[in-house]
């Protein structure tokens, strides 16, 4: 079978999940099922529920997971809809879950999807779920200059958000911006000469992709809710690929790992807050040099792991 997507930090994820006999696991971003298939292969008694918004990913996952028939269920939906999915499966609590927030190699390399700034003729789409919703072309051509500036600054952490947004607004007055190549050129023209180059549009493309797919909306609540769904001893494994996601995961884990928040001079606790998790990775795990050599796209990956406590 062709490689749809190479899973990142695969060994570390499987070790981090600490897979148990008869366990129930959730892969909220299954992609081509690289991690999902490894979870099912790790123990013949486990059950897996997985989700993904991308129809092509679901088709690939169904094919790859065929040898594990009867032990998995796939849903084409956003992982943030985990409550309805778990209810449909009759699942109250999990032994572990994985969220991999990276974009898949297949999505990056597929020109018709428009995720990559280096594919010059790609249409500006960037939707994970192609069944509806706004596209990158909609964002670039219809958002106000101020809205674009905000998106580039907040979601892309782009220092030149203002000049880039202004250049886009001026350019689209002459006609629609429709391809990745056009957008990349506009971004490059808006930057100082010293910063121009092949990857100078990376942050802008990231920001637009996040906006199109609502990637940060409800993320904090989802990570917290899934972690609280774990059985005692259950594991949360979360792979992030940029600082915005990682910051949210880090903050949620820190909050759930803290106990009483009452002032130190209080004789007894009145807040009632209890520590819910133990953070396994005080510093996130990153790709080894060997993995980096084999898969350069793993260089930004950070894996955070937590274990649910008895509360």
Q: Are residues 20 and 91 in the same domain?
A: yes
Which among 81, 50, 88 is positioned nearest to 221, based on CA atoms?
81
Q: Are residues 121 and 203 in the same domain?
A: yes
Q: Are residues 198 and 55 in the same domain?
A: no
Total domains in the chain come to 2
Please check the confidence at residue 3 and state whether its pLDDT lies above 70: no
Q: Are residues 88 and 117 in the same domain?
A: no
Contact (Cβ atoms closer than 8 angstroms) between residue 273 and residue 258: yes
Q: Are residues 27 and 81 in the same domain?
A: yes
Give the span between the Cα atoms of 229 and 224, in whole angstroms: 9
Whether 5 is in a domain gets the answer no
**Which domain covers residue 182, as residue numbers?**
107-213
Q: Are residues 173 and 248 in the same domain?
A: no
Last residue of a domain, one of 180, 213, 246: 213
Q: Give the torsion through C-alpha atoms of 208, 3, 58, 115, to 10 deg.
A: 10
| Least confident range of 1-15, 34-48, 238-252, 290-304 | 1-15
- Mean pLDDT over 25-54 rounds to 96
pLDDT (tens digit per residue) in 101-132: 988 777 877 777 878 777 788 999 999 999 99
Give the span between the Cα atoms of 154 and 186, in whole angstroms: 20
The whole-number pLDDT of residue 119 equals 75
Whether 286 is in a domain gets the answer yes
Give the span between the Cα atoms of 53 and 129, in whole angstroms: 5
Please check the confidence at residue 1 and state whether its pLDDT lies above 60: no
Q: Are residues 82 and 154 in the same domain?
A: no
Whether 36 is in a domain gets the answer yes
Last residue of a domain, one of 150, 184, 213: 213
Sheet strands side by side (includes 94-100): 72-76, 47-52, 24-27, 94-100, 230-240, 302-308, 277-279
Per DSSP, 143 falls in state S
CATH number where 238 lies? 3.40.50.150
Q: Are residues 207 and 222 in the same domain?
A: no
CATH number where 172 lies? 1.10.150.170
% of the chain residues with pLDDT over 90: 81
Last residue of a domain, one of 187, 213, 239: 213
Whether 3 is in a domain gets the answer no
Q: Are residues 96 and 231 in the same domain?
A: yes
| pLDDT band (50, 70, 90) for residue 197 | confident
| pLDDT band (50, 70, 90) for residue 30 | very high
């Amino acid at each position: 079978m062709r490689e749809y997507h190479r899973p990142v930090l695969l060994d570390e994820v499987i070790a981090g999940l600490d897979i148990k006999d008869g366990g129930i696991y959730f892969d909220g971003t299954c992609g081509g099922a690289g991690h999902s298939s490894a979870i099912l292969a790790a123990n013949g008694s486990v059950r897996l529920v997985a989700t993904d918004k991308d129809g092509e990913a679901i088709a690939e996952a169904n094919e790859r997971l065929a040898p594990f028939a009867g032990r998995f269920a796939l849903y084409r939906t956003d992982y943030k809809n985990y409550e309805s999915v778990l209810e449909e499966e009759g699942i109250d609590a999990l032994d572990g879950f994985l969220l991999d927030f990276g974009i898949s190699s297949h999505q990056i390399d597929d020109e018709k999807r428009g995720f990559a700034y280096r594919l010059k003729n790609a249409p500006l789409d960037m939707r994970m779920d192609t069944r509806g919703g706004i596209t990158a072309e909609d964002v670039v051509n219809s958002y106000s200059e101020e809205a674009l500036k905000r998106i580039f600054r907040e979601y892309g952490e782009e220092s030149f958000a203002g000049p880039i947004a202004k250049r886009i607004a001026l350019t689209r007055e002459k006609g629609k911006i429709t391809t990745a190549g056009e957008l990349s050129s506009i971004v490059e023209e808006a930057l100082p000469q010293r910063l121009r180059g092949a990857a100078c549009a990376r942050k802008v493309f990231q920001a637009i992709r996040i906006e199109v797919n609502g990637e940060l909306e409800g993320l904090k609540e989802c990570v917290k809710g899934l972690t609280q769904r774990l059985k005692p001893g259950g594991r949360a494994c979360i792979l992030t690929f940029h600082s915005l996601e990682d910051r949210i995961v880090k903050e949620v884990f820190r909050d759930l790992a803290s106990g009483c928040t009452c002032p130190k001079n209080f004789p007894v606790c009145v807040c009632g807050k209890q520590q819910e998790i133990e953070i396994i990775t005080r510093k996130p795990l990153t790709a080894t040099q060997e993995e980096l050599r084999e898969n350069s796209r793993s260089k930004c990956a950070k894996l955070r792991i937590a274990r649910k406590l008895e509360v």
